[in-house]
Amino acid sequence: MTLSEPLIPIVCGNEVLTEGSDGVGRTFDPATGQAIANVAMAGEMEAEKAVRAAREAFDNGPWRKMRPFERGRILARIGEIMLERRDEIVRKECADSGKPKRDAYWEVDCSARFFEFYAGAADKLQGSSIPLGPGWTDWTVKEPIGVSLHIIPWNYPFQLIARGVAPALTAGCAVIIKPSQETPVTAYEFVKICQEAGLPDGLVNLVPGRGSVVGDHLARHRGVDQITFTGSVSTGQRVLAAAASHTIPCSMELGGKSPQILFEDADMDGALKIIAGGVFTHCGQVCNAGTRLLVQRSVHNSAVERLHVMASAMTLGAGIDDPDMGPLISSAHRKDVEAYYDLAGKEGELLLGAETPKDATLADGAFVRPALVVGASNATRVAREEIFGPVLTVISFDTVDEAVELANDSPFGLVAGVHTTNINKALTLSERLRVGQVWINAFSVGLDVEFPFGGFKQSGFGREKGLEALAAYQQVKNVCVRHA
Ligand code: NAD
């Protein structure tokens, strides 16, 4: 079989390894089931090499000796090259992850924005001066934390690498990237762009491979100083235990079951479009997908009817053809999602959207139909568990208090959407919702890198994006002087 992409190697400093001690794997196009690239699978030996390269770059390399504005220029250049190469990266990402083309363009543009944003912050990482009275001078310095490990999921691989690596490099760290086995292709593009922009060797290292092998080994490694993990709650718990074995800090960006709260006084045309986009983007495989619709009883039936019409009109297809919805990541994941469809029929009523097209070109892909679940209570599994598929569970409420109670009655707390034309009601809800982000009459601004993102409860801890993200990659050192 001819593979459309070159082999995805392991990169440890300036060494590029086309084979790993865990063999050679493959990555597949979920729209066709075809293999698109071979992948060098890192094992413990390559993990050791990656740590050595990152340590050397951090402890003795030129990065920390450069002036901050010089670092900023290289970071800005990384963002520029991403934009120059966006068509090529989009093509690869559509094939590897299955997402529609417009979504892949968003992913690359957002990645470039992270580098633009943090490049501008590189020479503004100031400490503070603390008054202790006459005879004393005290100040703080923000130092890089060291070698930072980035464990990445498959849904937005390029963007999630950029989201963590840009602030880590800005703070002065060296990084090791462990991409998902499902989507390693654009991770290598990311590394090549960093090299081309002039980033010193060893600052960005790439170790594709199995999470339970190379991911676990790295998470336990004493040469790693910090971990940014993005993925599921159960894997996050394993990574936390590994990090605890050598007492290093972690940022945990985990799953969600985010509510979108629709009041009867909302601008329905605008709100329903936002709600559908909030749940069906990338086939529902989005951590902050708004998968629970809490709707005021008086507008429940009309909202469901209109959403069902919208879901039924959605086109399915390969990401590169830019359909409304691409496939799920794999046929194994499709089985998991379909099991929830069966469950939904028992816990409530399952209303499916567009029929899978009979088109033979889609027969081998991991396609599912978008789904609405009505009549299931907030206590059911379809209302509580992260399905990571295009399933919207609709639950009605009568009062503001009930809406807040339902929204907060979840193991997760990532984001929430509020749809109402009453700003007092919206602001009251923003105070009472236990989530990391509240959207009012919106569910994204697109390319939103400027403000913080992260979870309450099982959605994790630590904050990505915005200036807040830098703190994860810094240590605060206090210097105190007594003088005569
Ligand atoms: P996952 O937890 O299965 O895998 C995530 C990463 O962890 C992969 O690279 C995997 O190889 C690695 N891994 C697996 N076992 C490991 C171990 N023992 N030690 C170290 N690493 C290990 O998640 P996934 O299926 O790739 O992604 C979907 C999940 O990611 C969903 O739960 C979604 O909500 C979450 N997610 C969260 C955010 C966020 O910002 N909060 C963003 C995107 C995705």
Q: How far does residue 231's CA lie from ligand 1's centre (Å)?
A: 2
pLDDT of residue 360: 82
Question: 428 CB less than 6 Å from ligand 1?
Answer: no
Question: 215 CB less than 6 Å from ligand 1?
Answer: yes
pLDDT of residue 110: 98
Q: Best substitution site from 151, 237, 444, 458 to test ligand 1's pocket, by max atoms within 8 Å of Cβ?
A: 151
* 336-391 pLDDT tens trace: 999 999 999 999 999 998 776 677 878 999 999 999 999 999 999 999 999 999 99
Nearest to 215 by CA among 223, 207, 224, 203: 207
Question: 458 CB less than 6 Å from ligand 1?
Answer: no
Residue nearest to atom 16 of ligand 1 (CA): 211
* H or E element, residue 87: helix 86-97
Which distant-in-sequence residues (6+ apart) come within 8 Å of 4 by Cβ? 36, 37, 95
* H or E element, residue 174: strand 174-178
Contact 315, 354 (CB under 8 A): yes
pLDDT of residue 356: 67
Question: 180 CB less than 6 Å from ligand 1?
Answer: yes
Contact 161, 190 (CB under 8 A): yes
Residue nearest to atom 38 of ligand 1 (CA): 287
Closest ligand 1 atom to the C-alpha of 156? 43
Question: 190 CB less than 6 Å from ligand 1?
Answer: no
C-alpha dist (Å) from residue 296 to 384, 394, 422: 19, 10, 14
Within 10 Å of residue 252's Cβ, how many Cβ atoms? 22
Residue nearest to atom 28 of ligand 1 (CA): 231
φ, ψ of residue 139 in degrees (nearest 5): -150, 160
- Residues annotated as catalytic are 253, 287
Q: How far from each other are the two terminal CA atoms of the chain, in whole angstroms?
A: 78
Q: How far does residue 62's CA lie from ligand 1's centre (Å)?
A: 32
Question: 353 CB less than 6 Å from ligand 1?
Answer: no
Question: 153 CB less than 6 Å from ligand 1?
Answer: yes
User: Per-residue pLDDT for the chain (484 aa), expressed as one digit of tens each?
Assistant: 567 778 999 999 999 999 999 999 999 999 999 999 999 999 999 999 999 999 999 999 999 999 999 999 999 999 999 999 999 999 999 999 999 999 999 999 999 999 999 999 999 999 999 999 999 999 999 999 999 999 999 999 999 999 999 999 999 999 999 999 999 999 999 999 999 999 999 999 999 999 999 999 999 999 999 999 999 999 999 999 999 999 999 999 999 999 999 999 999 999 999 999 999 999 999 999 999 999 999 999 999 999 999 999 999 999 999 999 999 999 999 999 999 999 999 999 999 987 766 778 789 999 999 999 999 999 999 999 999 999 999 999 999 999 999 999 999 999 999 999 999 999 999 999 999 999 999 999 889 999 999 999 999 999 999 999 999 999 999 999 999 7
Closest ligand 1 atom to the C-alpha of 235? 2
